[in-house]
Amino acid sequence: MAPPATVDGHREKILILDFGSQYTQLIARRVREAHVYCEIHPYSMTLDAMRAFAPRGIILSGGHQSVYADGAPALEPEMFRLGVPILGICYGMQLMARHCGGTVAASNRREYGPALVTSLPDCGELFREFFQETPTQVWMSHGDHVTALPPGFRVAGRSDNAPVAAMFDPERHLYGVQFHPEVNHTPRGESIIDRFVRGLCACQGLWTPGHFIDWAVDHVRATVGGDQVILGLSGGVDSSVTAALVHRAIGDQLTCVFVDNGLLRLHEGDEVMATFAEHMGLKVIRVDAQEEFMANLAGVTDPERKRRIIGHTFIRVFEREARRIDGARWLAQGTIYPDVIESAGAKTGVATAIKSHHNVGGLPEDMGLALLEPLRELFKDEVRQVGEELGLPHRMLYRHPFPGPGLGVRILGEVKPEYADLLRQADAIYMAELHASGHYERISQAFAVFLPVRSVGVMGDGRTYEYVIALRAVETKDFMTAAWYPMPYELLSRIANRIINEVSGVNRVAYDITSKPPGTIEWE
């Protein structure tokens, strides 16, 4: 019996046209949560390109401009005759209304934040589940609104400040909402997107971690053939999942290079080797480059110079090791979809460029390696789901973000080996207590910071003059803004006591209660 054909989750596609909304990636996340593949493209995408993409449906994002302003983003009217369902969100709805013969005008009162929408008895099949109760809370962000419906459209819901808060044309399968169903502040908003892609667009939900792995393994094998592949393994989520996925596809044709720069967390190098080399059977070359990194960082205090030095040193070390691998033709990287979007400049109309050598700091082109980026279509949460399917440890996949320069930007001022050792020990105690108390999973990012200042203390019968450790913990959904985490006093006290008692050279611990803004999450 022939093996079953690989299910290609790309077979069902939703096209998201971006008009500059800060929430566009959230729309894509909601579509993916419905297990349907989607891509974000600029609003300037041509009609021929849309036909070639062959979407099951189209979503028009929000945007910050007025549809009637000079130079405002527009669409070809022919798009509405492609024969697929279209959902317009905020600016997208206004654009749909104007293109189809309706009227959009400035509102007497702008509407930003929570609002209540009252549904009409016949609200259409897209909105029935969403309008379980009326009025329904939504999240608005607009200064204009639809004042006259286009021919063929009906009102599904209205608010005090938006006479058309939701509309639909049942004959042409065109739908619009003035509010943002993709944000968490619109309860049950995901039901609108789920119903649109799974119901109206008739998608079955083929975009699953298992189906993706099967497809990606076939794709990597077909792309690479019998060539050798190298990968810069950092121990982070993206590079780890890439390594596991490529290894499943081509086995010993993959060689990973793990550079220990002396700026990793406590025992991190050993953990990476244990996970990948010992338990998963990957070929991993561990390079001890601590002395080289520290020598290059000596005397440097400027944060940006530190970042550049760490990045450039990594390139030199990685390139040196990579050239020793005979027959290498491909460089595997953990580039993920947000990297593609952000570096493509989707808002300016370039949707396919990517951030060159995103995870390895910009390797020289003369290495002659072609890029292999099997995760470039995935969001971070999807990467983690794929990693779980591949058998990677949960603790590795769901650990807090760790910066590329490592502890180099968590040691204020000059980086010295003794400072890194103190910080490693303090950070390990902090993480252990957060895990033991159950708070680690509730925090978006937590870490310790080394302050190169000495404070006076009293230990036993004598005075001390030792260093300070600052603790940082934040809650955030998108890392654009963040609130400091309200750590229980008892837990803070236990962490501080352990650090001071167990880390020789530290006599004071502080807790950072600065939110973002005005501060940043990292200290440098």
Query: CATH code at 73?
Result: 3.40.50.880
Q: Is residue 31 part of a domain?
A: yes
* Measured distance CA(157)–CA(357) in Å, rounded: 47
Q: Where are the alpha helices (DSSP H) in 89-147?
A: 91-99
Q: Tell me how many domains the chain contains.
A: 3
**Is 182 part of the annotated catalytic residue set?**
yes
**Is 435 part of the annotated catalytic residue set?**
no
Domain edge (last residue) among 397, 421, 444: 397
Two tokens, residue 347: 């808002």
CATH number of the domain at 418, please: 3.30.300.10
Domain edge (last residue) among 200, 229, 258: 200
Q: Is residue 5 part of a domain?
A: no
Same domain, 15 and 137: yes
The active-site residue out of 12, 39, 182, 433 is 182
* Measured distance CA(484)–CA(160) in Å, rounded: 35
Two tokens, residue 268: 């991190």
Domain edge (last residue) among 200, 229, 260: 200
DSSP state of 516: B
Same domain, 31 and 151: yes
Q: Per-residue pLDDT for the chain (524 aa), expressed as one digit of tens each?
A: 344 456 788 999 999 999 988 889 999 999 999 999 999 999 999 999 999 999 999 999 998 888 888 878 888 888 888 999 999 999 999 999 999 999 888 877 776 788 899 998 888 889 988 988 778 999 888 778 898 999 999 999 998 888 999 999 999 999 999 999 998 889 889 999 999 999 999 999 999 999 999 999 999 999 999 999 999 998 889 999 999 999 999 999 999 999 999 999 999 999 999 989 888 889 999 999 999 999 999 999 999 999 999 999 999 999 998 888 888 999 999 999 888 877 655 444 433 333 333 344 455 566 678 999 999 999 989 999 999 999 999 988 999 989 889 999 999 999 999 999 999 999 999 999 999 999 999 999 999 999 999 988 877 667 888 999 999 999 987 677 889 999 999 999 999 999 999 999 999 999 999 999 899 999 99
SS3 call for 431: helix
Instruction: Look at the pTM and tell me if it is higher than 0.75.
Output: yes
**Is 256 part of the annotated catalytic residue set?**
no
The active-site residue out of 145, 180, 247, 358 is 180
* Measured distance CA(459)–CA(150) in Å, rounded: 77
Q: Say how many residues make up the chain.
A: 524
Two tokens, residue 285: 């070359």
Same domain, 166 and 240: no
In 37-90 the beta strands, taken as DSSP E runs, fall at 37-42, 57-60, 86-89
Same domain, 350 and 430: no
Q: Is residue 380 part of a domain?
A: yes
Same domain, 96 and 241: no
Same domain, 103 and 216: no
Structural domain of residue 48, as residue ranges? 11-200
Same domain, 46 and 164: yes
| Dihedral sign computed on CA atoms, order 312, 396, 27, 445 | negative
Pair 233, 258: CB distance under 8 Å: yes
| Residue position matching structure tokens 């008895």 | 121
The active-site residue out of 12, 38, 90, 100 is 90
For residue 256, give every residue at least 6 positions away whose Cβ sits within 8 Å of its Cβ, in sequence order, or none: 230, 231, 232, 233, 243, 276, 282, 283, 284, 285
Same domain, 195 and 236: no
